[in-house]
Amino acid sequence: QVQLVQSGSELKKPGASVKVSCKASGYTFTSYAMNWVRQAPGQGLEWMGWINTNTGNPTYAQGFTGRFVFSLDTSVSTAYLQISSLKAEDTAVYYCARGDQIRSWFDPWGQGTLVTVSS
């Protein structure tokens, strides 16, 4: 079955970096886009952007430029989200979600990775 499995929870200090992985299985990885979505504690969903799994070209939503980097390793069907210079306000659950090329749907979603930034 189509599945996205994300890496485990992370506890980081302010200023550090974190890299979240999202391993896909059950479908051809390069046939669909990969999106990233943030959910701060008790808050709603926020689309961070997407990466074209064919070209590796990322697109970042407003507010997610500079410290956020999407990347791929197509040899292992895995997408990555790296966040640098972590701040307390980056504390959130980060989801990867498979999408079509026109962003009309996100399905399935990974189980989410909690990133906690605290000194």
62 binds another protein per the rule CB under 8 A: yes
Query: Which residue in 65, 34, 68, 78 sits closest to 52, CA to CA?
Result: 34
Closest distance between another protein and the C-beta of residue 105, in Å?
4
Number of residues that bind another protein (CB under 8 A): 23
Verify binding: residue 91, another protein, rule CB under 8 A: no
Q: For residue 106, give the H/E element and its range.
A: strand 106-109
Q: Is 46 in the site for another protein (CB under 8 A)?
A: yes
- Pick between residue 24 and residue 97 the one whose CB is nearest to another protein: 97
The alpha carbon of residue 21 and the mean position of all alpha carbons in its chain are separated, in whole angstroms, by: 7
Which of 61, 82, 84, 91 forms a contact with another protein (CB under 8 A)? 61
Do residues 33 and 51 touch, judged by C-beta distance below 8 A? Answer: yes
**Which of 32, 50, 68, 80: binder of another protein (CB under 8 A)?**
50
Q: In the Cβ-directed half-sphere of 44, how many Cα atoms lie within 13 Å?
A: 2
Q: Amino acid letter at 27?
A: Y
Contacts to another protein by CB under 8 A: 35, 37, 44-47, 50, 59, 61-62, 95, 97, 102-112
